[in-house]
Amino acid sequence: MKQTDVTAFGEILIDFTHSGTADNGAVLFARHPGGAPGNVAVQVARLGGTAAFLGKAGNDMHGQFLADTLKTEGVNTEGLLLDDRHFTTLAFVSVDETGERTFSFARKPGADTQISADELNRAQIRDGKIFHAGSLSLTHEPARSATLEAIREAKAAGALVSYDPNYRASLWNSRQEAMEAMRSLVPFADLMKISDEETELLTGKADPEEALQALLDAGVKFAAVTLGADGAMAGTSAGIVKVPGIPSPIADTNGAGDSFWGAILWQFASRDLNPEELDPARTEDLLRFANAAAALTVRRPGAIPAMPDREAVETFLAA
């Protein structure tokens, strides 16, 4: 019997988020743990689920900080490797007055791109009800091949495969390269989330509802599109539903999508839901809970530090 609700694979890194200026005018950045798959794992754990993380960081001050953060959050880190040869990836994040982000990466190469297939903790992959991956691990070898091998291992073990492509233009040589690589994982995905900014890149359809239908037609069993302040929509073979956003003061949108998706995956795993058996009413319930988690996340700076626990989400929804 599987003991892990969600096993997340991919990048873990440091988000240095703009946090004002010093008296002498120097720009200040605050160090936050980040990386989309790591964020998702933490959100699952915060909600009371069991989560594991597989990936690689540098054996440096930042990598040790990230490993300690995941352990403190209750995420299993047996599959997290610390590399003596490559530095932990750093992302410098500028947030404007609306909470929107601009990224600049120090990743040439980052340790997260250097995990190979033979370094995968296969027992941990097989133990997960849901295997979750993003697309930043597709930008370079050997991580790209490791991603595909991990997905094959998860599929063979009967796990649901979750995919959240996370487009960062500066990490790819071209938009065409990104599009081809990111679309390559769609046929493997049972559960998938994209943002409204990624619809055309992933499906060729700019309209969110048309993009959802394209993903469902491609074999995805549960597909979601986040719409920022407008909420989210999701679809299954039973139909497509939309849930409006929850008004919330915004300190930082970093991690909101990961909080949303972590909340979705937690609900699937903790309730042993079959995406092929969801009716529109249950899909709507999933979205409302996930929207609440994201709305709470944007109220505080940072990704992992801002993610809510189950009590906070349920209290927020009840209010």
What is the tens place of the pLDDT at every residue in 17-61?
888 889 999 988 889 999 999 999 999 999 999 999 999 999 999
pLDDT (mean) for 222-241: 96
The chain-wide mean pLDDT, for the chain, equals 95
Residues of the chain with pLDDT > 90: what percent?
84
Residue 99 has pLDDT above 60, yes or no: no
pLDDT of residue 11: 96
139-168: average pLDDT: 97
pTM of structure: 0.95
| pLDDT at residue 127 in the model | 97
Q: pLDDT tens-digit profile of 106-116?
A: 998 999 999 99
Residue 97 CB neighbour total at 10 angstroms? 6
pLDDT, position 268: 98
* Residue 237 confidence (pLDDT) above 80: yes
User: Is residue 100 predicted with pLDDT exceeding 80?
Assistant: no
pLDDT score, position 248: 86
pLDDT score, position 4: 98
- pLDDT tens sequence across 242-276: 999 988 888 778 889 999 999 999 999 999 999 99
For range 211-234, the mean pLDDT: 96
Show the domains of the chain with their CATH numbers.
4-12+36-88+109-318 (3.40.1190.20)
Region of 178 on the Ramachandran plot (φ > 0 left; ψ -120 to 50 alpha; else beta): alpha
Helix spans in the chain (H): 36-46, 61-72, 122-126, 143-156, 175-183, 199-203, 208-217, 256-270, 280-297, 310-318
Q: Is the model's pLDDT at 148 over the cut of 90?
A: yes
pLDDT band at 97 (very low <50, low <70, confident <90, very high): low
pLDDT tens for each residue of 156-196: 999 999 999 999 999 999 999 999 999 999 999 999 999 99
Q: Which of 134, 102, 93, 53 is nearest to 303 (CA)?
A: 93
Does residue 85 surpass a pLDDT of 80? Answer: yes
- Decide if 140 contacts 129 (C-beta within 8 A): no
Q: Give CA–CA dist 57/45, Å, rounded.
A: 20
Tallying the residues shown for the chain, one arrives at: 319
pLDDT of residue 158: 97
Q: Over the stretch 124-138, which tens digit does the pLDDT of each residue have?
A: 999 999 999 999 999
Question: Residue 279: pLDDT above 70?
Answer: yes
